[in-house]
Every structure is written in C-alpha cells, then in structure tokens.
Amino acid sequence: MNVLSAKNITKYFNTPEPFKVLKDVSFEVEKGEFVSVVGKSGSGKSTLLYLLSTMDTDYEGEIVINGSTVTNKSQNALAAFRNEHIGFVFQFHYLLPEFTLLDNVMLPALKLARRSKTEIEARSLELLDMLGLKGHERKKASNLSGGQQQRVAIARALINDPTIIMGDEPTGNLDSRNTKIVFDIFRDLAREKGQTIIIVTHDDEFAANSDRIIELMDGEVVSATK
Ligand code: ADP
Ligand code: MG
C-alpha cells in the first residue's frame, strides 16, 4: 500500500540568487518501509524532507500522503494533518527544557484532543518505557543526556500514532550506541506496527541496514535502491 508519493517535485530558492534546489524528484514509499535519504551536504535532503513533511509548501509538483493531496492545502489544514499523520524528529531535539519528559511527550496529543488526558498519559508512559526512559518520566528534559533527550523526541513524535515518521539526521548528535538504539526503534516500528520511516542520514551503516536508500545529488534522485 502506497503511503507517500512525491511527483515531479521542483523547488527554487531565490536568495542570494535563483537556484534550483530540487529537480523533478519523484518516488513512492510503501506502508512499513524504512527508507534512508542520503547524499552530500547541500544536495537538498533537508529541503526535500521539509516538503514531504508539509512544513514547506513552496514547490512545484505534487505530494500525496495517505491518499490525500497535501499540495495546496491551507496552512491551518496542514498543521492539523501533520500533527495527526506525521511524526518528525529533528537533529536537535527541540524539547521544552523546563517541562518534564512526560509533559513533552503528551503535548502533541493534548493538542490533537482525540483521547482523554488519562489515556494520553498512559500511552506517553508506555512510549517512554519502550524507549528506555522508565523512571525518568517526571524529570525535566534539561536534566537528561543528549541520547536520552533524542529518545524523548522520538516518543513525542510517536504519541499520535503517525503513519509516517520522518527524521532529519535524528542520530547526527548521537554516539554509536545511541544510534543503534534509535535505529532499532525505527526498525521495530516499521516491522511490527507497519509505520513508514523516512530518515535523512549521513551514517552509511544506518542507511545500509534500512530497507531502501534514496540518494540525492545536486537536487536530483540518482539512485533509489531496494
Ligand atoms: P542537505 O540537507 O542535503 O545538506 P539542504 O536541503 O539543507 O541540503 O540545502 C540544499 C541547498 O539549498 C544548499 O546549497 C543550501 O545552501 C541551500 N539552501 C538551503 N536552505 C536555503 C534557504 N532557505 N535559502 C537559500 N538557500 C538555501
Ligand atoms: Mg540537511
């Protein structure tokens, strides 16, 4: 089952001068696939991921997610769509440092308001446990190590059971042990829950162990190996 299609995506940046950053990029991603996006620095990986995650709407072409064409939706509609369908993990975690882990994870679900606060809290505790953070739930985010904070960010990205989880170098600041932990979490989510994973990475081993590599070079897809 197709979860995401990017159809002929072209994007320009106009400062400091007109520059075609993505050139006719097309590919499809299936439910439960774990895809790595690789390519040299400056090849357009982050730009592509911001389009796919609906955070950037300034492009030519079409993006369809879960059967819904997101291109040309209003900003309000996209904010709601994103919160429900897409979990995003950045290289830097962007947790609220003065809030507890539990509050950080609960926030997107409270915003979505689809479940009761009790249910949201129970699910948040379950996710924190799954990510190896049991016993830390009521600590402030700022009191944790970088690897722990990144795992909280993943729990937060998972709280609304998104169909797609995207990450822009989510293991970029982690040591190899924590990178492996995070990789295994994504692997399990794809295999066991059928969640679709799209991760930009510079880590060759990480990419090689995922299901598929999409390689960008100067804004073009040069290979999309299975
Ligand atoms: P990657 O993530 O692969 O390193 P990016 O998508 O961040 O690449 O950037 C691709 C190219 O677009 C780079 O040349 C970068 O300098 C340029 N770029 C990124 N963001 C902007 C922007 N907001 N305005 C102008 N140029 C940008
Ligand atoms: Mg980047």
206 pLDDT more than 90:
yes
Answer whether 219 contacts ligand 1 (Cβ < 6 A). no
pLDDT of residue 82: 92
pLDDT surpasses 70 at 94: yes
C-alpha 107/C-alpha 29 separation (Å) is 28
Residues near ligand 2 ion, CB 5 Å cutoff: 46
The Å distance, Cα 119 to ligand 2 centre, comes to 36
Q: What is the DSSP letter of 100?
A: B
* Residue 175, pLDDT score: 87
CA of 93 to the centre of ligand 1 (A): 20
- Tell whether ligand 1 has an atom less than 6 A from the beta carbon of residue 44: yes
- Predicted local confidence at residue 137, as pLDDT: 97
pLDDT digits (tens, 9 = 90+) for 7-20: 999 999 998 899 99
Phi, psi of 126 (to 5 degrees): -65, -45
19 phi and psi angles, rounded to 5 deg: -155, 125
> Is 226 a residue whose pLDDT tops 60?
no
Cα(167)–Cα(90) distance, rounded to whole angstroms? 6
Average pLDDT estimate for 66-77: 95
Cα–Cα dist 208/200, whole Å: 13
Distance CA 205, CA 194 (A): 22
Q: Please, what is the end-to-end C-alpha distance for the chain in angstroms?
A: 16
Omega cis (within 30) before 16: yes
Residue 216 has pLDDT above 60, yes or no: yes
The pTM (predicted TM-score) of the whole model is: 0.93
Are the C-beta atoms of residues 6 and 52 closer than 8 Å to each other?
yes
- ipTM over cut 0.95: yes
**Buried b or exposed e, range 110-139, using 16+ CB within 10 angstroms:** eeeeeeeeeebbebbbebbebbebeebbee
Q: Does ligand 1 have an atom closer than 6 angstroms to the CB of 39?
A: yes
* Weakest-pLDDT range from 4-8, 25-29, 176-180, 186-190: 176-180
Verify whether ligand 1 is closer than 6 Å to residue 92 (CB atom).
no
Domain boundaries, the chain: 2-225
CATH 3.40.50.300 holds for 2-225: yes
